Amino acid sequence: MSKATNITAGYDFGDGVPIKVRYIFRGTPYGREELAAVKEAFRGGTLTMGPQVEAFEKEFARYVGCKRAFAVSNCTTAMHVVTQMLDIGPGDEVIVTPNTFIATSLVIVKEGATPVYADIDPRTFNILPAAIEKKITRRTKAIYVVHYGGQSCDMDAIMRLARKHKLPVMEDCAHAHGTRFQGKHAGTFGVAGCFSFHSLKNITTCGEGGMITINDERWADAIQRLRCMNVGPWRPAEAARVMKAYGLRKRKNEYWLPSHFDVEDVNGHWGINYRMNEVQAAVGRAQLRKLDAFIAKRRAAAHYLTERLQGIPGITPVYEDPRGFHAYHLYTLCVEEDALGASRDAFLRELYYREGIQGIQHYQPTYDFTGFRKLGQKARQCPEAERFFYHRETNLPMHPMLTQRELRDTVRGVRRAAAAVRGKGL
């Protein structure tokens, strides 16, 4: 792939295909506000975990409607902190969707636990509550859900199930900035929500970044320790132990005694440096103020596509659950091979090589990766997830910088590609 030189540069496979609409590397534009935020951060007294991070955490918590938010280096580290916080380890099982980026399962196996895959809804591509319940055993320690593409899972059913079986729910909200279900923001239903500010997301913080959201203050100390090498304040009893051992006497406000910080495990778990820096947080604050406008542009583009792609035999535009608010991180188009009379891949070849529309597939079922087969995972676990990835879906370019010409070209390309391959066989 060639290096991206501007916000509309995208995947270039070096095959000489003239691309009309690229799948780009940037989920949002940056402007003067972000540049001003960077300068403001540089003028601060610290460049990591300072006032910009604290302000970003408070503003993000206010936006999603949770009690606390904690900035971290990315969504993967956010989920790793939560996995450790929940004391998940060897012998435990965590039920998770196979239709997600590797990170959602990776944090489970890193702690020695086993991901157990539950199948997806063929309309929303999210984990099915009924499929979750079938996978619950005495070893199940938690349920991890992913709001795929910016559309919420059925959180009413999932939370009923979680309460029935006394299981914590972690929400992977990497796609779900601004996503809502029954009026409530994603990331506020379960024990914790984990957000991503990667370059492709609905808001970004200089390429990487993440946030953990909680509504139970009991988790705050564990999160703060695990995201920063288990560093925290001295507990009075432990401070007294050290002072006595070394014959120290502390007077009022002598902050240096017994030392500036303590280091303590969290249920035997040890964190690493998962902190966010001040420049990222300052940019995140600027982006957060634009998030609703970015989502409005994404939704307008998505609705334009959906309205004009309806009624094409064998082509299924995005379904929106009326109980939710879709933030459209992705626009997932499905090919119904029997109705089209051709394979998904035949359609994609025509769409890419002839029409110049670049699609990307998300996500291969996690259990099909080589490393997970080595861990004992088997093929053919979730029929809907497999049919979805291998035979139905592609993600069309979706971001707030799409032009009307690009949207028209996308619609025209899909229509022409479907017509060109229709009835030519699977």
Q: What is the pLDDT of residue 313?
A: 97
CB 41 within 8 A of CB 278: yes
Give the three-class secondary structure for 277.
Answer: strand
Q: What is the pLDDT of residue 57?
A: 98
| Statement to judge: residues 280 and 297 lie in one domain | no
State the helix-helix crossing angle for 75-85 and 103-110, rounded to 10 degrees: 40
Model confidence over 113-124: pLDDT tens digits? 999 999 999 999
Q: Within 13 Å and on the Cβ side, how many CA atoms surround 267?
A: 14
The model's confidence at residue 8, banded by pLDDT at 50, 70 and 90, is low
| Mean pLDDT of the 228-247 span | 96
The model's confidence at residue 80, banded by pLDDT at 50, 70 and 90, is very high
Euclidean distance between the first and final Cα of the chain, in Å? 30
CB 347 within 8 A of CB 421: yes
Q: What is the pLDDT of residue 11?
A: 66
Q: What is the CATH number of the domain that holds 408?
A: 3.90.1150.10
Q: What is the pLDDT of residue 9?
A: 58
Task: Name which residue leads in pLDDT, 4 or 125.
Answer: 125
Q: Is the pLDDT of residue 299 over 50?
A: yes
| Statement to judge: residues 248 and 193 lie in one domain | no
- What's the chain's average pLDDT? 96
Q: Is the pLDDT of residue 4 over 80?
A: no
Model confidence over 166-178: pLDDT tens digits? 999 999 999 999 9
Q: Is the pLDDT of residue 2 over 70?
A: no
Q: Which two tokens stand for residue 270?
A: 């040890």
Q: What is the pLDDT of residue 289?
A: 98
| Statement to judge: residues 67 and 81 lie in one domain | yes
Handedness of CA 278, 219, 59, 300 (dihedral sign): positive
Domain span at residue 253 reads 233-263
**What predicted TM-score, i.e. pTM, was given to this entire model?**
0.96
| Statement to judge: residues 161 and 253 lie in one domain | no
Handedness of CA 356, 326, 166, 232 (dihedral sign): positive
| Mean pLDDT of the 37-52 span | 95
The DSSP element (H or E) to which 162 belongs, if any, is helix 155-165
Indicate whether 198 belongs to any domain: yes
